[in-house]
């Protein structure tokens, strides 16, 4: 059985109540008892000194009789609640507000201490008491002692009264705390339930479900994060659908051509003398399938293992010249010209030669496909501090402004910004982006419809 949030909060509340109760009734009792005992001792000590210095001396000076003085001590008892003994020098109780203690002997160890809490004095009084003793003297002559006492039961009553009030106050606060806990637990449980239900909706494919959390706290941040994750998942699902659709289309088209022409050659529909033309078409479509398969394998390896790079120092100008030469056939078909512009005859960069050659091949091939006949392709190399910038610019159809950011997406070739030539895989620029990113370099695209497109990427110069 799983523990619910409100149950955990309840356990926390109960533990808090128990802890507060222990602190008040154990630690608090010790503290309050000590404080009231000190207060009790101070009162008794002060009263014993007052009687010693005021009443006893005045009575001796005034010549009061024993009974008259005893009457005064009973008046003190009525006012303060203290029991008062007048003890002789020998320790005999001469006057007492407790009749049963008269003539009893008080031990000298008690009289010689200013304060006593001894239980062994039960022969003098019942129960636990505190005794304050003050000696009455004139010069060096000792006349006797004044002993003032009070039962510890009164102290315990005071302590119990204070603790009772503290407990009642604590219970009041705990009642308010319970209400706060209830709303607090309900708030958290409600928000967690809302987010949980939203996740269930998203799991079922209901990506338009809104998370209705109005609070401005971490729950709202969590809800936004979950909603963002759902949006990304929805985009991924849509991307996967498009990916499969594009793959199916790009495989189906050449396969249909290959199958159709092969069957036509087999059953004699296409005469022998013109079969070479259609065999070339079959070979061309086979190359398309091979290129598409290779590009998919490259992307799969890049995503699963990352782009593995083997850095070397090589001459970028020489590579660009060689790459441009390999496209002479394609350029002649559209009467295109490639113009190369380098700051120096030799410019050494530090990169993966094979991968950069793949990047250059993709960019030049892309420029040829989307250039108008009789157009021009410019390949330019520039130096910027420790970087080498390579630009491939065409004078073709260009890319609409709203579509520029999409050219790096896989299979993005469905609108006019990708040209009328649909024979590409739609993966070349995506592969190019990943290769340049793996070099920790940048590649940018700028384009104007009807004017042309330019791709510029950077490479690190080799250390001389």
Helix (H) or strand (E) holding 13: helix 5-22
Contact, 44 vs 150, CB < 8 A?
Answer: yes
pLDDT, average across residues 196-217? 80
pLDDT 10s digits, 288-300: 788 777 777 776 6
> Residue 458 — very low, low, confident or very high, per pLDDT cuts 50/70/90?
very high
Contact, 242 vs 411, CB < 8 A?
Answer: yes
Tokens of 25: 């009734």
In the prediction, which pLDDT does 418 show? 40
pLDDT, average across residues 194-212? 81
**Is the pLDDT confidence value at 130 over 70?**
yes
Domain positions in the chain are: 5-157, 218-302, 307-461
pLDDT, average across residues 59-85? 79
In the prediction, which pLDDT does 5 show? 66
**Cα dist from 226 to 214, 215, 232, whole Å:** 15, 16, 10
Which among 311, 386, 321 has a CA at the least distance from the CA of 353?
Answer: 311
**Is the pLDDT confidence value at 96 over 80?**
yes
The pTM of the full predicted model, rounded to 2 decimals, is: 0.47
Contact, 111 vs 128, CB < 8 A?
Answer: no
> Residue 457 — very low, low, confident or very high, per pLDDT cuts 50/70/90?
very high
In the prediction, which pLDDT does 268 show? 84
Spatial distance between the Cα atoms of 75 and 234, rounded to a whole number of angstroms? 94
Q: Which fold has domain 5-157?
A: Beta-Lactamase (3.30.450)
In the prediction, which pLDDT does 305 show? 57
Check residue 126 and give left, alpha or beta (phi > 0: left; psi -120 to 50: alpha). Answer: beta
pLDDT, average across residues 428-451? 89
In the prediction, which pLDDT does 231 show? 80
**Is the pLDDT confidence value at 411 over 80?**
no
pLDDT 10s digits, 274-285: 888 888 888 877
In the prediction, which pLDDT does 1 show? 42
**Is the pLDDT confidence value at 410 over 80?**
no
In the prediction, which pLDDT does 311 show? 92
> Residue 445 — very low, low, confident or very high, per pLDDT cuts 50/70/90?
very high
pLDDT, average across residues 58-80? 77
Spatial distance between the Cα atoms of 210 and 462, rounded to a whole number of angstroms? 53
Residues facing residue 338 across a β-bridge: 377
Determine the Cα angle at 156 with ends 130 and 49, to 5°.
30
Which one has a higher pLDDT value, 321 or 425? Answer: 321
Question: Three-state DSSP class for 238?
Answer: helix
> Residue 209 — very low, low, confident or very high, per pLDDT cuts 50/70/90?
confident
Specify burial of residue 30 (Cβ count, 10 A radius: 0-12, 13-18, 19+): exposed
Percentage of residues in the chain having pLDDT higher than 70: 84
Spatial distance between the Cα atoms of 303 and 236, rounded to a whole number of angstroms? 15
Backbone phi, then psi, for 21, in 5-degree steps?
-60, -40
In the prediction, which pLDDT does 452 show? 92
Tokens of 299: 């992307």
- Report the interhelical angle of 275-305 vs 218-266 (nearest 10°): 160
The per-residue DSSP string of 410-447 comes to: TT--SSGGG-S---S-S-HHHHHHHHHHHTT--EEEEE
Place of tokens 């002789």: 88
pLDDT, average across residues 343-369? 89
pLDDT, average across residues 389-402? 90
Spatial distance between the Cα atoms of 85 and 125, rounded to a whole number of angstroms? 12
pLDDT, average across residues 77-92? 85
> Residue 249 — very low, low, confident or very high, per pLDDT cuts 50/70/90?
low
Helix (H) or strand (E) holding 394: strand 387-394
How many Cβ atoms from other residues are within 10 Å of residue 228's Cβ? Answer: 10
Question: Three-state DSSP class for 165?
Answer: helix
pLDDT 10s digits, 317-328: 999 998 888 888
Spatial distance between the Cα atoms of 336 and 350, rounded to a whole number of angstroms? 31
In the prediction, which pLDDT does 419 show? 40
> Residue 242 — very low, low, confident or very high, per pLDDT cuts 50/70/90?
low
Spatial distance between the Cα atoms of 87 and 91, rounded to a whole number of angstroms? 6
- CA-based R_g, the chain, Å: 51
In the prediction, which pLDDT does 402 show? 81
Backbone phi, then psi, for 364, in 5-degree steps?
-65, -45
**Number of residues that make up the chain:** 464
Determine the Cα angle at 93 with ends 87 and 98, to 5°.
120
pLDDT, average across residues 244-262? 77
Question: Three-state DSSP class for 246?
Answer: helix
How many Cβ atoms from other residues are within 10 Å of residue 131's Cβ? Answer: 25
> Comparing 235-244, 332-341, 432-441, 450-459, which segment has the lowest mean pLDDT?
235-244
Which one has a higher pLDDT value, 441 or 47? Answer: 441
**Is the pLDDT confidence value at 143 over 50?**
yes
**Is the pLDDT confidence value at 351 over 80?**
yes
Q: Which fold has domain 218-302?
A: Helix Hairpins (1.10.287)
Backbone phi, then psi, for 445, in 5-degree steps?
-130, 140
**Is the pLDDT confidence value at 412 over 80?**
no
Contact, 436 vs 359, CB < 8 A?
Answer: yes
Spatial distance between the Cα atoms of 93 and 90, rounded to a whole number of angstroms? 9
Mean per-residue pLDDT of the chain? 80
pLDDT, average across residues 67-87? 84
**Is the pLDDT confidence value at 413 over 80?**
no
pLDDT, average across residues 388-395? 94
- Residue 312: alpha-carbon gap to chain centroid: 43
In the prediction, which pLDDT does 389 show? 95
Place of tokens 């649909």: 422
**Is the pLDDT confidence value at 37 over 70?**
yes
**Is the pLDDT confidence value at 83 over 80?**
yes
Q: What DSSP character marks residue 402?
A: G
Name, in order, each residue with C-beta under 8 angstroms of 121's C-beta and a sequence gap of 6 or more.
107, 110, 129, 131
The per-residue DSSP string of 9-63 comes to: HHHHHHHHHHHHHHIIIIIHHHHHHHHHHHHHHHHHHHHHHHIIIIIIHHHHHHT
Domain covering 307-461 assigned CATH 3.30.565.10 in the classification: yes
In the prediction, which pLDDT does 140 show? 66
């Amino acid at each position: 059985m799983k523990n619910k949030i409100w149950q955990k909060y309840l356990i926390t509340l109960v533990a808090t109540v128990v802890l507060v109760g222990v602190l008040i009734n154990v630690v608090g009792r010790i503290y309050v008892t000590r404080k009231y005992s000190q207060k009790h001792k101070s009162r008794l000590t002060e009263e014993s000194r007052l009687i010693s210095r005021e009443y006893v001396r005045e009575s001796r000076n005034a010549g009061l009789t024993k009974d008259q003085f005893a009457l005064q001590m009973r008046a003190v008892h009525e006012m303060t609640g203290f029991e008062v003994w007048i003890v002789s020098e020998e320790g005999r109780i001469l006057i007492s507000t407790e009749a049963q203690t008269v003539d009893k002997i008080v031990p000298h160890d008690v009289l010689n201490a200013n304060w006593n809490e001894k239980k062994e004095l039960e022969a003098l009084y019942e129960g636990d008491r505190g005794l304050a003793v003050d000696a009455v003297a004139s010069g060096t002559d000792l006349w006797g002692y004044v002993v003032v006492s009070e039962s510890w039961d009164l102290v315990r009553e005071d302590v119990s009264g204070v603790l009772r009030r503290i407990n009642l106050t604590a219970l009041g606060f705990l009642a308010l705390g319970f209400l706060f806990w209830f709303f607090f637990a309900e708030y958290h449980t409600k928000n967690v339930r809302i987010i949980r239900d939203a996740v269930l909706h998203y799991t079922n494919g209901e990506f338009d479900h809104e998370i209705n959390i109005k609070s401005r706290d971490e729950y709202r941040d969590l809800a936004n994060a979950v909603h963002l994750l759902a949006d990304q998942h929805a985009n991924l699902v849509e991307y996967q659908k498009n990916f499969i659709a594009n793959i199916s289309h790009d495989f189906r088209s050449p396969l249909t051509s290959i199958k159709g022409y092969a069957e036509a050659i087999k059953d004699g529909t296409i005469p022998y003398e013109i079969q070479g033309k259609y065999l070339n078409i079959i070979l061309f479509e086979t190359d398309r399938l091979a290129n598409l398969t290779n590009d998919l394998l490259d992307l799969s390896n890049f995503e699963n293992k990352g782009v593995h790079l083997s850095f070397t120092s090589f001459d970028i100008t020489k590579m660009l010249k060689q790459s441009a030469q390999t496209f002479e056939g394609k350029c002649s078909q559209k009467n295109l010209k490639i113009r190369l512009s380098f700051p120096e005859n030799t410019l050494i960069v530090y990169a993966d030669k094979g991968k950069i050659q793949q990047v250059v091949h993709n960019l030049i091939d892309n420029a040829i496909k989307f250039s108008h006949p009789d157009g021009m392709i410019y390949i330019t190399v520039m130096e910027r501090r420790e970087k080498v910038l390579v630009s491939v610019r065409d004078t073709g159809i260009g890319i609409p402004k709203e579509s520029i950011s999409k050219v790096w997406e896989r299979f993005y070739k469905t609108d006019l910004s990708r040209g009328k030539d649909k024979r590409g895989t739609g993966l070349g620029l995506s592969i190019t982006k990943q290769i340049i990113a793996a070099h920790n370099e940048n590649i940018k695209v700028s384009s104007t419809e009807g004017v042309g497109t330019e791709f510029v990427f950077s490479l690190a110069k080799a250390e001389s």
